[in-house]
């Protein structure tokens, strides 16, 4: 009997599922809104899995593994997610929910790490790789010698909470001036509110007058350069991937972003001379890569 795997990327606003055959060839996909709160997010994931099964005609009994990349603090052992603020989840036993519906315990991992693992598929294990994600928050997935760096308490890569300005805005972590307050959707929203621009959604900033938009962009790029500096000095990876929904938005206003970064007064000159910008790549199909990464991280190989 043929066996199949399902990879799922849960982002701040959407769920993407992909069903793969045993040679990791894509068989069916589904894209939908994630909803908000534990119940809606659970229902979206269940509906998405059911849809890729229905589209492909594959029975759930033929599924060997389900990998899920999701924001928040993830416990892969217990299948729980806590503090996924942008999804409205305080605590969710997602492993139990999926197991109850499909008879299979999924493997959960942080969505940024899932993307890093997916990106590593096209590299040799000897090549080090970092994925810097600029989404609702800011974090890095780090792979060295083919191994994901998690740390003793899964904090490795949470560089969005490095404070770079003691007088800066208060962050969700209660520190001031974290990188995340400059270069994430949450940071942009707070910054706009502090300037008197009410914004329900970070995407609203596209409709703002240009002087405001360019100051948001300048601040974002300054924070991004500081984040790249942290990665270059601590990991110095062979490849540095940049991606995420908030970065996509900034790139629309700044299409020549590499040149802008190289010429910025905030980029230390040694950063440019280290050649780090030659090793930068932009991630375009984030969801597909994260779904692949969550499948590659499964213990069960089809
Ligand atoms: Zn912080």
Tell me the per-residue pLDDT of 55-97, one tens digit each, with 9 for 90 and over: 999 999 999 999 999 998 899 889 999 988 878 999 999 999 9
Q: Is residue 214 pLDDT above 60, yes or no?
A: yes
CATH class of 4-114+286-296: alpha beta
CA of 168 to the centre of ligand 1 (A): 11
pTM score, whole prediction: 0.92
The Å distance, Cα 224 to ligand 1 centre, comes to 15
pLDDT at 250: 92
Distance 256 CA to ligand 1 centre (A): 29
C-alpha of residue 66 to centroid of ligand 1, in Å: 32
Q: How far is the CA of 134 from the centre of ligand 1 (A)?
A: 14
Distance 154 CA to ligand 1 centre (A): 16
Residue 2: what pLDDT?
A: 80
β-sheet with 4-10: strand ranges across = 26-33, 14-20, 4-10, 63-70, 107-110
Q: Are 69 and 291 in contact (CB under 8 A)?
A: yes
Q: How far is the CA of 262 from the centre of ligand 1 (A)?
A: 26
Distance 44 CA to ligand 1 centre (A): 29
Looking at the chain, the domain(s) classified CATH 3.30.420.40 span 4-114+286-296, 123-282
C-beta separation of 114 from 74 below 8 A: no
* Interatomic CA distance for residues 302 and 299, integer angstroms: 10
Report the separation in Å between the CA atom of 227 and the middle of ligand 1, taken as the mean of its atom positions: 13
Q: How far is the CA of 10 from the centre of ligand 1 (A)?
A: 22
Strand order in the sheet with 73-75: 73-75, 80-84, 89-92
Ligand 1 mean position to 174 CA, how many Å? 6
Is 67 buried (19+), middle (13-18) or exposed (0-12) by CB count in 10 A? buried
* Mean predicted confidence (pLDDT) in 272-283: 90
Region 28-36: mean pLDDT is: 96
Is the pLDDT confidence value at 300 over 60?
A: no
Dist. CA 82 → ligand 1 center (Å): 17
Q: Answer whether residue 213 shows pLDDT above 60.
A: yes
User: How far, in Å, from the CA of 223 to the mean position of ligand 1?
Assistant: 13
Three-point CA angle 287, 157, 13, nearest 5°: 30
Sole residue written with tokens 């003793």: 152
On the question of pLDDT at 186 being above 60, the answer is yes
Q: What CATH number is given for 123-282 in this structure?
A: 3.30.420.40
Window from 81-90, 99-108, 127-136, 238-247 with minimum mean pLDDT: 81-90
Give one DSSP letter per residue of 87-136, joined into a string.
GTEEEE-HHHHHHHHHSS--EEEEHHHHHHHHHHTTS-TTS-EEEEEESS
Distance 159 CA to ligand 1 centre (A): 9
* Residues 104 and 63: beta-carbon distance below 8 Å: yes
Report CA Rg, the chain: 19
Compute, in angstroms, the gap from residue 72 CA to the centroid of ligand 1.
Answer: 14
pLDDT band at 302 (very low <50, low <70, confident <90, very high): very low
Distance (angstroms) between ligand 1 centre and the Cα of 133 equals 15
């Amino acid at each position: 009997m043929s066996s199949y795997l399902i990879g799922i990327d849960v982002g701040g606003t959407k769920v993407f599922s992909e069903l793969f055959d045993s040679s990791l060839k894509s068989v069916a996909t589904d894209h939908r809104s994630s909803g908000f709160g534990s119940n809606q997010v659970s229902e979206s994931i269940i509906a998405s899995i059911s849809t890729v099964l229905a589209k492909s005609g594959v029975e759930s009994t033929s599924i060997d593994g389900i990998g899920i990349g999701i924001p928040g603090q993830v416990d892969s052992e217990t299948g729980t997610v806590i503090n996924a603020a942008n999804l409205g989840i305080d605590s969710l036993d997602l492993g139990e929910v999926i197991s109850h519906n499909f008879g299979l315990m999924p493997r959960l991992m942080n969505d940024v790490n899932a993307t890093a693992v997916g990106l590593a598929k096209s590299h040799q294990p000897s090549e080090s790789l970092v994925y810097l994600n600029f989404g609702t928050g800011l974090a890095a997935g780090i792979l060295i010698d083919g191994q994901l760096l998690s740390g003793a308490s899964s904090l490795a890569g949470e560089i969005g909470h490095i404070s770079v300005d003691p007088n800066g805005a208060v962050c969700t972590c209660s520190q001031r001036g974290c990188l995340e307050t400059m270069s994430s959707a949450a940071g942009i929203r707070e910054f706009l509110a502090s300037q008197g621009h009410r914004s329900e959604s970070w995407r609203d900033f596209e409709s703002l007058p240009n002087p405001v938009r360019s100051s948001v962009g300048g601040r974002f790029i300054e924070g991004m350069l500081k984040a790249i500096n942290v990665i270059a000095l601590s990991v110095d990876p062979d490849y540095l991937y940049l991606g995420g929904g908030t970065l996509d938005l900034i790139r629309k206003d700044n299409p020549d972003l590499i040149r802008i970064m190289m010429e910025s007064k905030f980029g230390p000159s040694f950063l440019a001379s280290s050649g780090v910008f030659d090793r930068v790549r932009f991630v375009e199909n984030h969801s597909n890569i994260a779904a692949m990464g969550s499948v590659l991280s499964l213990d069960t190989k089809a």
